[in-house]
Amino acid sequence: MFIRQISVFLENHPGTLREMTELLGKGGVDLLALSIADTQSFGIVRMIIHSNQIDLAMQLLKDNGYIARINHVICAAVPDRPLGLAGLLAVIEDAGLSVEYMYSSLRKGKNGSAYMILRLNDGQKAAQVFALKDVAMLSQEDVDNL
């Protein structure tokens, strides 16, 4: 069970993140989750938005000179309490998987959950393990309803 994520490459200069988010916001794109990782010369912004806004966001980004792509990640619900995330990470570790990157949703989860966006070294295996271990994963439709 995967959801779509947009990754955008940004130059590492003051104002570039604001400019990109302003462009999307003025275009009506609502950010559900956002992460940025940077190096000295560039950054990678990863974001989750509603699926009906993905084409619009990609067009806005490309029309304005951004390099962007869509990839697939897992959105898992974890208890929003101490050790909630540690439990998910234990499931990942016990399955012999590793986290390539992870970030949290900007939206509050239902039933005392937090939503973690994960890219793992083997997404297919992770989805199978999560299903066996009763780790709740959000579908694209679930994310669209946030």
65-118: per-residue pLDDT in tens? 999 999 999 999 999 999 999 999 999 999 999 999 999 997 877 777 899 999
Measured CA distances, 65 to 14, 57, 59, 60 (Å):
17, 12, 10, 9
> pTM of the predicted model, to two decimals?
0.91
Confidence of residue 44 (pLDDT cuts 50, 70, 90): very high
Q: Are residues 95 and 64 in the same domain?
A: no
Which domain range does residue 22 map to? 3-70
User: Which pLDDT does position 112 carry in this prediction?
Assistant: 77
Q: Are residues 48 and 78 in the same domain?
A: no
CATH of the domain at 131: 3.30.2130.10
Inform me whether the pLDDT recorded for 22 exceeds 80: yes
User: Which pLDDT does position 146 carry in this prediction?
Assistant: 84
Largest alpha-carbon pair distance within the chain? 45
Residue that is last in its domain, among 16, 35, 70: 70
Q: Are residues 25 and 86 in the same domain?
A: no
Inform me whether the pLDDT recorded for 30 exceeds 90: yes
Q: Is the Cβ–Cβ distance between 41 and 11 less than 8 Å? A: yes
If one counts the domains in the chain, the total is: 2
Residue that is last in its domain, among 52, 70, 88: 70
Q: Report helix angle 123-132 to 84-94, nearest 10.
A: 120
Q: Which alpha helices (H) appear in 27-122, and where do they start and end?
A: 54-63, 84-94
